Structure 1
Amino acid sequence: MEFSPFNPVIKLCLQGMSFEEKEMPEEAAQLFLKAWEEASDDHEKFLASHYVSRHQKTVEDKLKWLETSLEFALKINDDTVKSALPSLYLNISQCYQNLGDHENSKKNAELSELFRNHPSDKGPFYHGTKAELQIGDLLTAGGNSNYKSEFKMNHIYFTALTQGAGLAAALAKGDGAERVYIVEPTGNFENDPNVTDKKFPGNPTRSYRSEMPLKIIGEITEWNRPKPEDLQKFREKLENSKGDIIN
């Protein structure tokens, strides 16, 4: 399943997080439970149980929900969830530590470290923009941020999800047509720290960044474009965001 903020279960999780930010934990917990009850596939169950775990009253219950989340994450076994495994194992390790089970705590801490490596994602990768480019062109760092125009970006950003690249194209500055290019990293890349383990566990948007250029190797013309009302909500969130961009 491709991660989408417009998925009904993910929307419930986003609403729950909004209540968390407003310091309304009971309301948040109810929405997360509703997300769990409405989850219909392994990916939705993985995410919903992760959030349900955050509102448990006992360490035992928190551990139960975290291990449920891990169970579904391991069933999925793709790059959408692999990036969540380090933090998931680490949280499980902490639960065992709090319960005095040092053997299981150590085992899960070691698994966390094992999975904390360079992204294993093999792509294909995409970059959304309103710039007109040609195959063979190189995208380089140093441009202005689409989200905070006063920022010069030290990295070039890309994603393995066409919908994510399409959203980036829609939000990009300029009056040109929205374009999604197929790109090839020319050097090492890393998880985008602005999204990884922030609102969602791991890097479900499969968003990456590199200091090295991206080579344009193709272009796609078909992707799921956001609805105008959803796009407006994204723009409003960006305008009201008080968080700093990690550059």
Structure 2
Amino acid sequence: MSPQAKDPGPFYHGTKADLKPGDFLKPGNTSNYGERKTANYIYLTATLDAATWGAELGVGEGPGRIYRVEPTGSFEDDPNLTDKKFPGNPTRSYRTHEPLRVVDEILDWQPHSPEVLQNMRNHLEELKRLGIEAIN
């Protein structure tokens, strides 16, 4: 069964990019995370919490933003999370080679507390120190 059949959405993408409805997010750009390698996938989630992490931790200037997006093709579970950290995909995190179309911006999302955000940044720094790069 494909993820689309199991998860009807809605879907979100967290970033620092300033986008408008109708814009497309595509793989092949520089990743917003880690060593900023070329991203082979574009990521989406069906939870605002996971999108919030993307908005808060992405590289870039300006505020974090969360967009409601529509996949234009097939997508699969994000193995960086589902296989390694959260079997069964409770974060409802996915990746795709196909563009995501921006539907609108979510304006009423709640950021993580400063303490929780700092704990995540510390954890990511430790992974970096260990040479672990999850995003491909």
User: Do the two structures share a fold, i.e. TM-score over 0.5?
Assistant: yes
Q: Which amino acid in the other structure matches residue 134 of structure 2? A: I
Look up the SS of the partner of 2:9 in the other structure: coil
Q: Which amino acid in the other structure matches residue 233 of structure 1? A: N
Q: Which runs of 5+ in 2 are unaligned?
A: none
Aligned with residue 38 of structure 2, among 152, 159, 166: 152
The reply on whether 1:118 has 2:2 as its aligned counterpart is: yes
Look up the SS of the partner of 2:60 in the other structure: coil
CA contact (8 A) 1:142 1:155 kept: yes
In structure 1, distance between residues paired with 2:46 and 2:84: 18
Aligned with residue 180 of structure 1, among 56, 59, 66: 66
Q: Which runs of 5+ in 1 are unaligned?
A: 1-116
Aligned to 1:26: none
In structure 1, distance between residues paired with 2:84 and 2:41: 19
Q: Which amino acid in the other structure matches residue 50 of structure 2? A: G
In structure 1, distance between residues paired with 2:59 and 2:133: 19
In structure 1, distance between residues paired with 2:47 and 2:107: 14
The reply on whether 1:165 has 2:51 as its aligned counterpart is: yes
The reply on whether 1:237 has 2:126 as its aligned counterpart is: no
CA contact (8 A) 2:33 2:135 kept: no
Q: Which amino acid in the other structure matches residue 157 of structure 1? A: Y
In structure 2, distance between residues paired with 1:130 and 1:147: 11
Look up the SS of the partner of 2:82 in the other structure: coil
Q: How many residues matched?
A: 131
Residues 246, 177 of structure 1: alpha-carbon distance in 2 compared, 3 angstrom cutoff: closer
Residues 118, 246 of structure 1: alpha-carbon distance in 2 compared, 3 angstrom cutoff: farther
CA contact (8 A) 1:193 1:246 kept: no
Over the aligned positions, Cα root-mean-square deviation in angstroms equals 1.4
**Relative to total residues, which structure has the larger helix share, 1 or 2?**
1
1:246, distance to aligned residue in structure 2 (A): 5.6
Matches within 5 A, 1:205-224: 205-224=91-110
Residues 158, 204 of structure 1: alpha-carbon distance in 2 compared, 3 angstrom cutoff: same
CA contact (8 A) 1:147 1:238 kept: no
CA contact (8 A) 2:31 2:37 kept: yes
CA contact (8 A) 2:13 2:43 kept: yes
Q: Which amino acid in the other structure matches residue 172 of structure 1? A: G
Aligned to 1:23: none
In structure 1, distance between residues paired with 2:53 and 2:65: 10
CA contact (8 A) 2:73 2:99 kept: yes
Give the fraction of aligned pairs with identical amino acids, expressed as a percent: 53
Look up the SS of the partner of 2:66 in the other structure: strand
In structure 1, distance between residues paired with 2:36 and 2:57: 16
CA contact (8 A) 1:185 1:212 kept: yes
CA contact (8 A) 2:34 2:135 kept: no
Deviates more, 1:195-204 or 1:237-246: 237-246
Q: Which structure's CA Rg is the greater one?
A: 1
1:154-197 deviation digits (Å, cap 9, x = unpaired): 00001000121111101011121111000000000000010113
Moved beyond 4 Å, runs of 4+: none
Matches within 5 A, 1:26-175: 117-119=1-3, 120-175=6-61
Look up the SS of the partner of 1:133 in the other structure: coil
